[in-house]
Amino acid sequence: MSANQYDRNLMEREIDRRWRSTEDVMARYTKDHKEATRRRIVAAAGPRFKADGFDGSGVATLMADAGLTNGAFYAHFDSKDDLIAAVVADQLASQRATLRAVAADRAGVAQFVRGYLAPEHIGDRAEGCPSAALLDEIGRSAGSTRAAYTEGVSAIIEDISAVLAPNDPESVRGRVAVAMSLMFGTVQLARALTDAAMADRLLAESVPTVLEILGLAYAGSAAPSAGGKPKAVTRSGSPNAVIAEMPSAPAVRTTMPYGR
């Protein structure tokens, strides 16, 4: 082989190596970019679904919320049902992560209950609990959506059970599920009422009931007064805070996220 032929072969191999390297980089970029775009759509769709419902949110609106065009939708999802299942899974995973951070002990769980059953949560549907906002629609959704919900909410129940009874979580799992069901339904009913005072009283009176079901000592928001009736929870300026009026004590402010 001549020197020129040898040099040419070396050059061709180097060009081929660089081309393959560029292809690998582009493939990784394309995959990462696609995954990032999918996450962006899911993140934008969560608040929209919770505010307007599954049927009240068209593909055009969902994609506009994500800053994308309609045509990009089917590059990431086979159908709207596919997106709904992904959003339900993402919302519950986010809520679970929040709970793990703020409800790491029994006091944290009690504080979460008070924050969840606060008037501020009623008015914050888009950023609130996915169960309270969407449970009735999830029950009528495709099997994939209900499976995603079952997995997500079961994980949350298991986490709370492990906090309340670390040596035997299964012993309280049923009570945790019942308490959560009561919390979801209470928020849904309060949102349906046009009487704000009635809604506030419903929320206030549900707190001690939920805490009792969970086996947590009652103290804090909506504490019973001397006459046995709970005091109304006062609305505050912070979207994630609840002011609890304590009998014979100054008002106590607790900040607690209730959704994702």
In this predicted model, what pLDDT tens digit does every residue of 128-186 receive, in sequence order? 999 999 999 999 999 999 999 999 999 999 999 999 999 999 999 999 999 999 999 99
**Is 20 in a helix, a strand, or coil?**
helix
Domains (range + CATH), the chain? 1-77 (1.10.10.60), 80-260 (1.10.357.10)
**Model pTM score:** 0.74
* Contacts for 226 with CB less than 8 Å, ≥ 6 apart: 247
Read off the pLDDT of residues 89-137 as tens digits, 9 standing for 90 and up.
Answer: 999 999 999 999 999 999 999 999 999 999 999 999 999 999 999 999 9
Worst-scoring range by mean pLDDT, 8-12, 65-69, 134-138, 229-233?
229-233
> Would you say 115 and 121 are in contact if contact means Cβ atoms under 8 Å apart?
yes
Give the tokens for residue 88: 């339900």
**Residue 208 CA neighbour count, 13 Å, CB half:** 18
